[in-house]
Structure 1
Amino acid sequence: MKEISLYTIAFLGGIFLAVQAGFNSQLGNYLKQPVFAVVVTSFGSTLFGILLACLLTKKAPTTTLLVNVPWYLWFAGALFSMLGISFYFYTIPKLGISKVIVLGLCGQLLFSFLAGNYGWLEVPVELITPKRVLGIGAMIIGILLLNMK
């Protein structure tokens, strides 16, 4: 049952990211500036994150724990998040949400395929196998079919 719950949460996360992309591309259109829309969205995410952390966290991280975090981990995820979201905000009004999400998913799949195989970013190793190559190939064919006119 635990695995099904995790799959469901991951699936819902994908839906939420697609919904988020649609709303935030509208915000970027209204503001005529996708990067400013990312700033507004990030501020809102920070507020919701603080609220959720206060509701769900029993104990805050200690100062010792915070000081031991490598300096780049405080900023690297935020940089890639800002760039990825900005790219989405910029391209959704031009290409449409389904194409952007499908192309973004393709990028995520290919990167995660390599990162998993080599253990990049300290993720669990998932070696490239013929079955996984076939699966990625099927996804890429699907992406091409979805984007054909």
Structure 2
Amino acid sequence: MPFVIALAVIAAGILNTVQSGSNATLNKTLGQPILAALIVAGANVVVYMAAAPFLGLSWPGSQRLAGVPWWSWLGGAMGAVYVLASVLFAERLGAAVFTGITVTAGIITSVVLDHYGWVGFAEHTADAWRILGCLLMIVGLILVCTF
């Protein structure tokens, strides 16, 4: 099972990068960044609805809704910021630089979130290896941006 999960996560990472170019091209062709983002959001809904029969879809009770931390409701808005960034900047920066920046920022943020156990993640100490990994990501980003 871990192998299947790893493959699914690898596919998500690949699709995330391809999505940036797709979103940017949609914006370039339409000339309307908000319309492009709305089309992306509409496509998201279609995929979620197609997955619903396999993953389930039901409305939780009021007690469960009341137990959701306030910051959990902001995930969709954070995703929208990413989509707008890809629509507006991916083409200008290129796939390597745009993805390099977003992935490096994500890795560094992930190490901090893991270290403190923030936003629902289990605590994983930011040891020397994780910090070195972050520094190497920054070095890799500098190399991608420079050459």
Asked if TM exceeds 0.5, the reply is yes
- Pairing 1:39-118 to 2, within 5 Å after superposition: 39-57=38-56, 60-64=58-62, 67-70=65-68, 72=70, 75-118=73-116
Deviation of 1:71 (Å): 7.4
Gap regions ≥5 residues in structure 2? none
Cα distance change on mapping 1:47 and 1:74 into 2, 3 Å: farther
- Pairing 1:110-149 to 2, within 5 Å after superposition: 110-149=108-147
Gap regions ≥5 residues in structure 1? none
Quick one: distance in 2 between partners of 1:138 and 1:18?
Answer: 20
Q: Identical aligned pairs, as a percentage?
A: 18
Cα distance change on mapping 1:7 and 1:55 into 2, 3 Å: closer
**Higher RCO (CA 8 Å, separation ≥ 6 residues):** 2
Quick one: distance in 2 between partners of 1:111 and 1:62?
Answer: 30
Q: Which residue of 2 aligns with 1:36?
A: 35
Deviation of 1:4 (Å): 2.5
TM-score, normalization: structure 2?
0.88
Tell me the amino acid that sits aligned with residue 123 of structure 1. Answer: F
**CA RMSD between the two structures:** 2.0
TM-score, normalization: structure 1?
0.87
How many residues matched?
Answer: 147
Residue deviations 1:113-134, cap 9 Å, x none? 1111111101111111011111
Deviation of 1:29 (Å): 1.0
| Residues 21 and 91, structure 2, Cα contact 8 Å, conserved in 1 | no
Secondary structure of 1:125's partner? Answer: coil
